[in-house]
Amino acid sequence: MTIRRQQGSLDLIGQNAESWRGGLQNTDRLIDLVLTAMKSDDLRVRGAAIEVDLAANNLSKTPRTDCGLLKLIRKIPPSALRCALGAANRGRDELC
């Protein structure tokens, strides 16, 4: 629904995402939906996708989480990270 820009869906995600944290399972279907929403030209849809992804991965929006993610990213070889970011930027699901 949100991918189709239905405002009610965006509102529901905004109101409830925090309560979903740790309760959503990161299934293949959910990952596909989040990836599809992240490719939207509507920034509100992309924002909702980020909220759902954070909830599914039980990540809170705190400086501590940011630091943990930065440490994780720093462990990824630069060539692999560039490849993954480049693929995502072009809307490709496959990586190098």
Q: State the DSSP H helix or E strand holding residue 81, giving kind and residue range, or none if neither.
A: helix 78-89
Statement to judge: residues 77 and 55 lie in one domain: no
More confident residue, 46 or 85: 46
Residues of the chain with pLDDT > 90, as a percent, come to 2
Is the model's pLDDT at 92 over the cut of 70?
A: no
Statement to judge: residues 2 and 42 lie in one domain: yes
The number of folded domains in the chain is: 2
Show the domain range for 54: 1-61
pLDDT digits (tens, 9 = 90+) for 38-83: 888 888 888 899 889 888 888 887 788 778 778 877 887 777 766 6
What is the pTM assigned to this prediction? 0.63
Statement to judge: residues 54 and 70 lie in one domain: no
Is the model's pLDDT at 1 over the cut of 50?
A: no
Statement to judge: residues 45 and 72 lie in one domain: no
C-alpha to C-alpha distance for 51 and 96, rounded to whole angstroms:
27
